Amino acid sequence: MLGRTRWAVFDPEAQVLFVNIADPAQIVVVDARRPENIARTFAVPSAGPHGLDLDLDTHRLFCACDSGELITLDAPSGRILGQDPLGGAPDVVFFDRVHKRLYVAIGDPGTIDVFDTKTMEKLASVATETGAHTIALAPGGEQVYAFLPVSHRAAIFEAVHS
């Protein structure tokens, strides 16, 4: 690998792993059938690729970067499809495949940015707690869990789908 790895996601259809590299800012594609080789790389036009998820229906990668930007890429080609501002430096990204929502944890100021992935419109920034950069998504997409390091609690948010 060329630099520090951050997050990875597997595409079961293409049989590849997409791996975020912090510096230089890129996504490395590893063929699962030949994992000893890097199949290709995609440059990411924003510093510090961190959280990463994949929409298998549209073949889009969602890459949240430390620079406070969400980069959307075409998974097969690496072509940049969009760049959207985030509320700060992100950590974990979860894509809700059922409701087509993307959840991005922002540890400082302590929010979860919510995007409609059909339009890439930012729907909300939900307050959590400073330092809360770890989230989880319930399998059906009905709840988002945020782990709160200052108060030593977990918050459960009901997802709203219109």
CB-based contacts of 85, cutoff 8 Å, min separation 6: 68, 69, 70, 122
Three-state DSSP at 57 gives coil
In whole angstroms, what is the distance from residue 49 CA to residue 152 CA?
Answer: 28
For residue 104, give both structure tokens. Answer: 């991005």
Q: State the fold for domain 1-85.
A: Thrombin, subunit H (2.40.10)
Where are the chain's structural domains?
1-85, 89-162
Q: Assess contact for 28 and 41: CB atoms under 8 A.
A: yes
Along the 162 residues of the chain, how does pLDDT read in single tens digits? 478 888 999 999 999 999 999 999 999 999 999 998 899 999 999 999 999 999 999 999 999 999 999 999 999 999 999 999 999 999 999 999 999 999 999 988 999 999 999 999 999 999 999 999 899 999 888 999 999 999 999 999 988 776
Q: How far is CA 73 from CA 43, 77, 82, 146, 162, in A?
A: 10, 8, 7, 26, 25
User: What pLDDT digit, counting tens, does each position of 112-147 carry?
Assistant: 999 999 999 999 999 999 999 899 999 888 999 999
Pure H helices in the chain? none
Sheet containing 60-65: give its strands across.
49-55, 60-65, 69-74, 80-85
> Which pLDDT belongs to residue 162?
64
The dihedral sign for the CA sequence 46, 18, 133, 142? positive
